[in-house]
Structures are given as C-alpha cells and as structure tokens.
Structure 1
Amino acid sequence: MADEVEATLKALAEAQASVEKEAELNHVTLMSIGEGVITTDASGLVSQMNPVAEQLTGWPLEEATQKPLAEVFHIVRETSREVVINPISQKLTGEKSTKKESGILLISRDGRETQIEDSAAPIRSEDGKVFGYVLVFSDVGEKKALQKKIGWQATHDALTQLPNRSLLADRLAQAVARSDRSNQLMAVGLLDLDEFKPVNDRLGHASGDQLLKLAAGRMHEALRSTDTLARLGGDEFVLVLSDLTSLDEAETIFQRLLNHLAEPYPLDEEVARVTASLGFTLYPLDQADPDTLLRHADEAMYAAKHAGRNRYHLFDAQHDQKLQTRRERTGEIREALNSGQFELFYQPKVDMREGRVTGYEALARWRHPEHGILSPAEFLPYMEDNELAGELGRFALKAALSQIAEWREAGYTDWSVAVNIAPYHFTSVDFLEDLTNATEQFPEIPPECLELEIVESTAIADLQHAANVITACHDLGIRLALDDFGVGYASLSYLKCLPVDMLKIDQSFVRDVLLDKGDLAVVEAVITLSNLFGREVVAEGVEQAEQYLLLLKLGCHMAQGYGIARPMPANLVADWAANWQLDPDWQ
C-alpha cells in the first residue's frame, strides 16, 4: 500500500514538474517572440502580454491584466482616424471570420502611433472548446517606409526628383481621360536642351547634373500646379498640360518656360547658357493614343530644332497623316515590286511619213491583285525621290531587254524600246553600273535597240553630271531622249551641252497645237531646235490626223499617242503591229 502511494506521489510530482517545465517553456517562448502577443480569456479580458506588446501598447502586464482588450489595444484607421474594432472583439460579437485590415495605427497609452499589421485566432482545448484568444501584431512602419521609398524610386528620376517614364505613362493616360470628360484641350510637349552636350563634355558630368537640376526647377516654376513635368532621360523632358481653353494658353506657358530656361546658369566652374527646343501636340485635335502623342511631340521638337532652336513648334496632324499615308503606300509599292506585280506596257512610236513602226516606249503598270491595272499616277509620286526609283528602273531595264530579245527571236529585229529613267536613279552613283549589269545579261541584243528617256529637269539639275552620264551611255551604244521637252527651263546653252539624241515634244503642247497659238509657237521652236542641233524629234500625244499633218509640215514625222495606239501589254503588241496600217487621212 505504501509503495502504491509513493508511486502515485512520484507520478504526480513528475507530472507537476512537466507542467511547470512546459509552462516555463511557453513563457520563455512568449517573451522571446519578436512580434507583440496578447492573449485573452474567453470573454476578451487580457491575460498575457509579451514585452513587445507592452512596449507597443504602453501598458505593463500587471496593469493590463483583466482589462478589456479594446482598452489596451486601441487601433484606428490611418487615413480617417476612425476607430477599428480589434479582431478578438469581432469574434466575440459573432463575426464568422477575422478580416485582416491594412493601414491600421496602434495608439499607445502615451499617445504614440505605430503602423501595425495584426491577426487573431481562438485558443481551443482538446475537445474544441474556446477558452481564450491570441492576438499577434507587429510594427510595420519601417517596412511601409521602405516599400514607399522603393515605390517612389521606381516612378521617379533620382537626379531631378521628377516623374520618370513609368509614372508619366500613368499621368498621361489620366490626362487623356480627363480631357475626354471635360472636353478641354490637353497639350503634350517634349523638350530638349540645346547645346547641353558641349556643356556636359566641357565641364564634366557633375556640372551637367547640376545644370539639369536647375533647369528642372525653372520649368517647375513656369508651369502650373496641375501640370506634369517628367524626365525621359538625358536632357529630354515631357510636359503634360491639362484643362487648356485654347492654343494661345498653351503657347503662353511654353514661351514663359523657354524664357526661364534661356537665363544664365551659375554653375561651380562657370556661368553656362543653354536654350531649349520644344515640340508639342494638342489633344483631342490630335486624335491619337498616348504613345503616339509623345511621338508627335518628338517630331515637332525636331522641327523646332531645325527651325533654329530656342523655340516651340506645334505638330501638324494633317501633314503627319499625309506622311503616314505616303509611308504606307511606299511600303505597298515596295512589296508589289518584290512580288512581281509590276509589268511593262508598250506604246508604239511610228514614222508617219513612211508608215512603219519604229519602236515602243515601255511604261510601267501595277497589276494590283484587288484593284486591277494601276497607272503611273498611282505609284510614281511615291517613288520618284527615293530608292524605289532605282528598284523600278532596274526592273524596267531588265524587263525591256528581255522583251526585246523575245521580239528579235520572233523576227522583229528593227524595233527599239525606250525605258524611262527617274531623275533619282539617273543621277545616282549606281545608275551606270545598273545599266551595264542589265545589258551584260543580254549580250545578243544590239545596244541601239535600247533607248533611255530622261526628263528635262533631270539634266538641268546637274548639267555636267548629266552630260557625263549621257556620254557614258553613248560609249555603251545606247541612245537617249529628252522627254517632256518644252515644259521645263531648257535653253540653247543647255541643249548645246547635253549630247542627247532625241527631243520629245510634250503632249500638253501637241494637244492644243491646232487651237493655241502659244502651243504652236512652242512646237515650231522645238522642231527648229532639233533640226539646228541635229537631234531627232518625236511628238507625243498625237490623236488627230490634223495634228499630225501640221506636225509633218513643220518637219516632225515621228509620233506616238492615242491616235496611233494606247499602251498595251507585251502579249498584244505583235498582233497589233501585224494589223496596223497608216490611216489614209494621215497621209
């Protein structure tokens, strides 16, 4: 019996020791937690607090014990200062779940405020009965400050403290939406400091940075409080002006800003002077998305620089639309050339005195997959002043020579083909190489079967260069004609210096030669000049027998025009030539 009692006492002692050890461990753990911990009984009265909780609330444990949690743990919303019910009280009032809130301030006993985050959970017995609650909270002030700092750095320029490209995108989108709602104008400007790089290179980056900060400060002074100023990088800045009533208002602000920027800058080493070029566009007059508005402002800024700097320039939306249309059309034409959609049509040239076909003028046509055959008016204006002119010229030379070879094989050995060469191509350094490469691919073709036609303005633009190229063509055995003669500014001296073989009277004079004495005088003069200088002469645009009879009397017997034949595809030429006869009325 005694042994059983002793064993029971020993077991009780061990159990007590275990409980005490576990309690001590729990206490040490509670005291060691780096976050504030408060436990309550089932009714919400404080039962335990660790040192962190005591420090944050300002309540020592001995005074807080058995007090309602709301008295010890006083929290409010950071923005509205509205009292927040703590999560344990929410549970006690029947809340099904504890909602974690952000932006919470803990007001300590002595009035100190601490940004916190908190969470709570019930304490249950083994059978699931709630006999208390535990509240855990922590000081997140430093974390929030760090997050705010990181967030600020992500959206601002470190040097000037201005919004950067990331924040600008948001501000610009908001400004567009605001303009849509208010039906007022908004200006988007892009500014670049003139001659900033020389100052930066001469004085060093430190002085350059100082100059940028001073310039940013001056711009801020010139703008309104509602305007946005952002730095894109380097010495480029973006301005967004909302709620404008007129263009004049925007120009007044921009001029004031440019005046401020043009004032001297006292730097460490010297007094620097820089100006600025500013381009801007107005929304919604310029109906574009934010990225395009910036691009338009950038284009206008470069226009301001080209115009002399230290000025602003308004983007011209209509002009840009024309440029955009031109870029799109040019791209379509380039693709059409690459995909073989271009071909040559041929318009006959005839000797009306002898009644025979002497050759053809090759005229480019675009066989569009949707719109059918397109005339030169649909594509030449988009390619005459760029490399597309060279691409078309190379195509035409090769296609014409290939066609000449085909016709010669079929027995048409006395036909020549004239290819029009655009001014851009004719005056380029690659032209003679292109011509040589084309002719070398067809060594069986006599060079006199290929003729080249250039317009009068091409030759006059650089007379000596044109004369040299014509001479080089003659060395290859190729003849040249001066097309549209009479519409330009050619004089006797020009004609004397240019060794062309043929003059083509422009159709605008031939069309009304029977009615207009001025046109008749021009036609007579061209024919006379041709005879004086030993050049052949061809009349373009002949449509009536009376026109040709008059031309013949004046000394011109070579002609082409709708009265003879319209331009036709190559596969129709042989049949036309076989059936063509000189109209008796024309003899």
Structure 2
Amino acid sequence: MFPQIIEGVMATRKHSSPPPPEQLFHELAATLEFDHFFSNAARGAALAVGAHYAGLIRRHGQHLRYQFLGALAADDDRRNLIPLRITDDHPAAVGLALAAGETLYIADSVQGSRAAPELAALGIHAHLLVPIRVAGRIEGALVLGWRTRPARAPGPRKRRLVEAFAAFIGHACYRSALEAALARDARHDPLTGLPNRGVLMDRLTHARRRAMRNDCLLIIALLDVDGFKGINDELGHEAGDHLLTTVADRLASSVRLADTVSRYGGDEFVIIMEDITHLGQVEALLERTLRAIRQPILFQGRTLTVTISVGLTIYPFDDHSPNILLQHADQAMYEAKRAGGGRYHCFAPTQTAPIHAGAQRYRDIEQALARDLWRPSYQPIVDNSGRMVGLEARLRWHQPNGTIVREEAISNLVARDLRERLLEQLLTLIQRDWGARGSPPVSLHINLQAADLYDPRLPAQLSRWRAELYRSAPTPVILELSDTTLAAHAPAAQRLAAALGDPGFLFLVDHFPGGRAGLAHISSAPVYGVKCRPTRDPADTRLLTALAAGIKALGLTLYADGVDDLVRQKAAEQLGCRYRQGHLFAPELDARSAAHWFKTSVHSR
C-alpha cells in the first residue's frame, strides 16, 4: 500500500525540455524500489502530455481510492512533485470511466456527468484517466490533470505514450503484490495464517534473551489437537483444515497481545508467553485456552468437539537452547496425552525446580541457603539527571554451571516457609554488605510477594532491620508489590502498612499495568508510587500515556523500569517518569560497586 504522501516524486524544469521517453523508460527499467518506480513513471507520463498534476487511484476491496496526488511545481528545477492532501480520497465517477476499459479524457472536471469534484477543488479543470491493469484486470488508474483546459485533447501518440507508462505501473503493482505475498508466505503458515516454525524459532531465541535480561519467566507451551487424525480420516481433509483454522483462531483469541501463537506442524501449535511474573498468569491463560477449544465446532451441519493436550516448560528453570526447550515441551505434551488429554502438563527438569512444589527443588534451594550461596545484587535507580536515588536489592544464586537462579523468579513457586527464609536471608545479607560501609547512601527497594503480606512477624522484622541499617538517617525503604499482588491481596497490603505505621516505609506498585490492578486499586491503596515498563509498541505506549496521566493526577511518583535502550529512555521521558532503572544506566552490581557508582553519579553531576 502506497503512503498518501510520497516525498520527492517528480518535477519539471521551467526552462528546459523534458527528457525523451526512451531515457525515461530506461530509468524505469533500472528502478527496483516500488515507490521510486511509480514516481518516475508518473513524472514521465505528466511530462509526456504537459500535465500539471499526477496521481494514482487503486482498488481497495470494492472501492477505488486515491493513493497519491501531487502538483508539478512550475518554478522548481529539481523535478519534484509537491504532494497534496485530498479531503475526499474516494474518486467521483472514476468507476464509470474505468468500466470502459480505455483511456478517457475529461475536458471539464468541474461540471457534467464525469466531473471530479475532488479534483476541481484543487484547481484542476481537465483530467485524463489511464486504466492500470494488474494481471489482466483493471485495478486502478493513472490520473493526469491540467490547471487550464488544453486547447485540444492529447492526441493518439501522446495517449499511447501515457498508456505505456500506465502499463509499466501495472507491472510494478503486480510485482510489488507478488513480492509482498512471497514475503508473507515465507513467514506464515498458508492454512492458518499464523507465524510458521522459522518465525517461531527467531522469536523464541529473542524471547529467551529478554527473559534473562528482565528477570522474568518464559513459558513455552506445545499444543496438540486430541483425536485430529480420526476426524481428518473420517470426514476428509476439508474438515481437518476447517478444524485447524478454527483452533488457530481460538488460540490467537485466548492469549495476550504480547504472546506468540504459531503453527508448529500438522496439528501442533506453540505458544510463547513472555514477561510472566507468577504462574497464576499461566494457569489462567491455559484454562481459558482449554475452555475455548472445547467449544463445539460446526462443519457442514455436523458438530465437532475436540480437546487439546498441552505440554509446557519454564525458562530459566529449564535453562536450555530453544530447540531443547521445544523438545521438553513436546515430552510434557505426551505426558498430558497419556493422562487422558484435554489438560496441560509441565516438564520437570532434573536439575531445576518443577512447576509444583517438589522435594528436590526444596532441597536444592534449602541447601543453597544453608551453604550461603545466595548473594544480593543491587541495581541503581536514577533521577532525570542520572544521579542515583535508589537501589533495588534482589537475591541471586550463581550455580557452578553458570546458571543464575533469581529469587524473584522462584518466589511464587516455593512453599511459604521457604519464601520467608529467602526474604530473611536477603535482609541479613544487606546488613552484612553495608555494615562496614555505613548506611546505604540511598533508599533500598525490597520486593515483597503475596506470602510476605501474611507473615505476622514481618512488620517487626522490617522495623528492626531498617533501624539497624539506617540508624538515625531518615532515608525511607521502598517496599515493592506487583500490581497483580496488590489487586488480589489489597486488604493484606493495607494491614501491613498499618502495622508498620512508619513513614520510613513507602509502598511502590511494580509491573504496572500487569493486567489486574487498575487506577481504582491504586488510588485506594497506601502506595507512594508506581513503576511501569516503557515499550516499543505504539498501542501499549498510548495506553501507558493515559495511565501515567491518571497516576500523576493521583499525586503518585512514576518510575520507569526496564530502560535498556534509548528508545525506552525516550518513552520514559514522554511518560514523565521521575525515576528510571535499567541496563542503559547500570547493570546489577555488588555492594562495593554500587557504593562506587553512587559516588561517581554524584561527583559527575
């Protein structure tokens, strides 16, 4: 599809004669880029008949619409066509003219049965319509216009010349459509329209890197249609194709916008779920998907009912290459089939934690705690000048094989008593890190999970810890809750805030918007600020902009997380975020490096 405005298309020289047609055709033959090709062709056609305007009309479904219209500048030696905006881009009477299938000269664009009000409004008094054929079918027209009516209509020779240019444009339209179709077919399944396996592998590779960088879970789910072969054999391939396309549509409608659904082959599909912070999100999505697929499918008067078996694996617990992750999801899918189908099953790696609380996982984490293998990391939070104003503290377990187990990634997967021990270990290690260095120079951010809100010992534990850490300094500690946790456990969060009863603790909503907590939850909760993650997606940016305005209207402080590049930094500026955090500013650091980074950030400002 052409843009409505094409810069630098064509021009005429005021004091020089136009180049010969042979030269223009030679230029066209050497032009590969389509918009530039049309520019040259439109220029040549206009020069051939002395027209002042040139445009292109294309068919869109059942309608014809202007794709471009421009005016030749009389005093421009650069051969540029000045683009014009058309108030009404639906050409009047063109359909009747094109029905004749031949070049048509309209001597009066202002009045008569073949008048073109949209052209007359631009000062065009006469125009020429030249049909454009694509693969033998008229798909539009080349439009040439005059400011003043020519003394006579273009003669046969000039008409043949502009028809040659129109033929060139038709061939270019066909080539462009063919290239677009080939490019799409190369990346999409021809039956369902879903991304194919090649696109899947590319997205999975990048998703795995993002999950590692953003400290989030990545879910790979492989789905197989139960009983597909029987339906396909009994009712034929047409029924099988209808079943697959219906399943594909329902899968695409069940997932989030950020998720990827692809056809893996045969009756198998794959879903990639990114930015997962707790398994409740996954369970809800899978249950919704299973229900959607169970709905009856109508085919030629018959009702078909199918189910799917789903196998999933979780990165970073299953820390392998994309190919191995898919193999593990496939193994889990067959476990779901062996259990009767119509359900999901999670792959359980032998060296990492499975989805359900298991003895091996518990022992591994417990042994790491007992052997003091967990270490705190600190990621700087900066203000608009780049000065450090906070540190987000999290636990990390560096395993011998190089894998890093992140405390926040397993907190929702462990038993409550183990979660309490992990939080206690984090607070203890922070004290050990900063005891010899004095109080931390800035506010520490501590992430709380839902289980923490129900620990009756936590208020006293936090109060003692802050008093020992900061002594008499008024520096507050920021307690972060995900928006999903706040939405599901708002009363518990309010009870914790009341029990602390200390201005030295502030609550921050993280991972906003995560899909559950809205401004209503936030406005009624004892929160000081909100942390969001700027995005590259224009639709998500518009949503965040609206939410950011509401957050600031509530008098809350806005943070930006995941600012890893200049694009997200620009988005954070546009959102009006006061504080920012991400790899663009600093990675996760140990306490010594964090203290040095603070001094550097202060002295460099």
Please say whether Structure 1 and Structure 2 have the same fold, judged by a TM-score greater than 0.5: no
**TM-score, normalising length: structure 2:** 0.39
The structure having more radius of gyration, on CA atoms, is: 1
Task: Specify which structure has the higher proportion of helix.
Answer: 1
**TM-score, normalising length: structure 1:** 0.40
